[in-house]
Structure 1
């Protein structure tokens, strides 16, 4: 079975854990020497994400597959609290990632370059190495605007508050998505201590595309298939695209509860406006007692407290509604996902997801069940 290729591919690395340990105590399952720090405090290093997936569908018309999902590599030079230069590329998907220069001072952080647009917590705030599930929830994937060139300002020096404002224009580094986007995100933490974190956020953006068009579509929560089960079709005469995101997340010890509501509205000239929305709710439990880190108004990975790693179970319901009678019948889709994660040290993760999909569009129903597994190396 192709499942074996994914899981067994990690064994040689794990077996080498005891052999690869230098004078500084580095090991395969422990810390890795992927950065250098000068006497003046300047850091230079690498960050990466290598993820290999296998997916199995229980319905004809969907092809089982195994392939690289991501091959991301980022290089950076920074002095914390002063500046940062980051360059990133995904060799699997052939796209430029975050590429920017950031200056930090008493007035906050000013960033210039290509970076993520602000609406859609799971995409805009959470890195690809720290996702609880293998894929983002349906509405996030459907409405997220991607990366753009621009400038933004972040301020987190007011206790319990996080502010981000962005002006993005000119498309992206691949020459796509030309237009202008204005956006922002505000997060409030009414509770934030060692025991628990309560995260309440709102994000908004307005986009004006040069080609005056929009198409909203989404795969099931398994990205090795190219099929989109719901699709608004091409919308023309679009003067502006408004996005809204509402975030509510609570972590107490090993328990994480997360939800998000997203809405999109396309303002059109000489044609009816188009609206679509969606939401998800998820719960995750670290069976081994660890909790996720929280920094920059986002949750990261858990660091195992035991040599053999940490275990996590998760459940999510997500739904997206692309139907707007009189404008576009894009369809409705809902997914239930159960997941299990095994964190092997600080740089390896095995993920398993089982997804029950229910999609309806223009009288046609598709309901594939999906089993998928991922082997991930991140640093």
Structure 2
């Protein structure tokens, strides 16, 4: 039976509810060891099992599978440094591999944090949220299409009560050996109030990527290129209803983002407007753009946590967990110049059940509407995720 793996996952994740009733502390996991000098070594992981069903008219095949299988380790000394190695064994992809230093411990004055290694580039608020802390099962259309991903480089972050500044420079290939080139990026956010359950974050981000051509293992030269595309907010299909195709020869890729978060008690709003412009040799510039807006409300009274310019999972205030209701509207336009990548808008409604700080269920219904080269499709999707993280 196709649902068997999902039912097994649901059964396993339901165990903490019964255990909580019996008095077991499921928030106190022995995944860390502390040394006498304050250094802490910890294991970290995120396992997610997804179940996707699509409307019969969509032509998209139903699927259920492990979506994420992330494992790693962190080493840190509070106020001095932290380091992480993190890998997704499901997609065979390196995630974070970095070391970060607190300036005050070395210079005697807080002038920010310095990070070196393989890390996320800053354009895309939702993309910079941890994969374990996503409010929706998948990121919105424009985030998928325009986010650059992780790169190797150096980053400086200065955070103060009312603002955040981030500057990064990245070069070479990613850790999969792809995407040669350089990127420079900046991000700034204004946070006039930033208390628990009372947050306003308004930000802007910009990056400029200079991609390079390369020769593969067969000594075949590939021109520098870009490609903007998005899945229909369902992760278990490779079908893209909107796709710019390969944009060659790409000279520069400029990404811009406007971002906002407002948290007021159990209610929150998050929105982004993203745009990418590809400068091409011998062809007109190409620009794609998109936006999304999402609202969230906790029926059980919790507030979304906010820290260092990003949100996180809640810690339930009740033995039965925390329940969150959500809705999101997203759109993307990849038609520009001589490129007909298509237009799409999605409406998503969802619910999350946070059993403990380490277990979460998510359910999303997505109604998509896409048009590309005269073909109009309106698939509907239902998604369920069972997730364990530590």
Q: Does 1:358 align with 2:351?
A: no
Q: Deviation of residue 137 (structure 1)?
A: 0.5
SS of alignment partner, residue 143 of structure 2: helix
Q: 8 Å contact 2:197–2:303 — kept in the other structure?
A: no
Cα gap change, 1:161 to 1:60, in 2 (>3 Å): closer
Structure 1 residue 81: Cα displacement: 1.6
Against the structure 1 CA distance between its residues 191 and 71, is the aligned structure 2 distance closer, same or farther, given a 3 Å change threshold?
A: same
1:250 matched to 2:262: yes
Q: Does 1:330 align with 2:341?
A: yes
Deviates more, 1:28-37 or 1:204-213: 28-37
Which of residues 146, 150, 164 is equivalent to 1:147?
150
Taking the aligned partners of 2:210 and 2:167, their CA distance within structure 1 comes to 17
Instruction: Show the 5 A alignment for 1:20-169.
Output: 27=24, 29-58=26-55, 59-105=57-103, 106-124=110-128, 126-156=129-159, 158-169=160-171
Please name the residue that 1:191 is paired with.
193
Q: How far does the alpha carbon of each residue in 1:135-155 deviate from its partner, in whole angstroms, 9 at most, with x for none? A: 000000000001111111111
What is the TM-score when the length of structure 1 is the normalising length? 0.95
Q: Which stretch shows the higher mean deviation, 358-367 or 30-39? A: 30-39
Q: Please tell me whether residue 342 in structure 1 is matched to residue 340 in structure 2.
A: no
Higher mean displacement: 61-70 or 1-10: 1-10
Question: How far, CA to CA, are the matches of 1:257 and 1:185 in structure 2?
Answer: 20
Distance (whole Å) between structure 1 residues aligned to residue 197 and residue 306 of structure 2: 12
CA-to-aligned-CA distance 1:263-295 (integer Å, 9 cap, x gap): 111112211000010000000000000011111
SS at match of 2:268: strand
Q: 1:5 maps to which residue?
A: 5
Q: CA RMSD in A?
A: 1.8
Structure 2 stretches of 5 or more lacking a match? 104-109, 214-223
Q: CA deviation at 1:34?
A: 1.1
Q: Is residue 52–residue 70 contact of structure 1 (8 Å, CA) maintained in 2? A: yes
State how far apart, in whole Å, the 2-side matches of 1:242 and 1:154 are.
21
Residue 196 of structure 2 contacts residue 306 of structure 2 at CA under 8 Å; is this kept in 1? no
Residue pair 1:29, 1:348 contacting (<8 A) in 2 also: no
CA distance 1:84–1:26, change in 2 (3 Å): farther
Q: Find the residue that maps to 1:172 and give its secondary structure.
A: coil
Does structure 1 conserve the Cα–Cα contact (< 8 Å) formed by 2:17 and 2:319? no
What is residue 221 of structure 2 aligned with on the other side?
A: none
- Asked if the contact 1:17/1:28 (under 8 Å) is kept, the reply is no
Structure 2 match to 1:296: 308
Pick closer, same or farther for the CA change 1:30–1:14 going to 2, 3 Å: farther
2:27, 2:357 within 8 Å by CA — same for their partners in 1?
yes
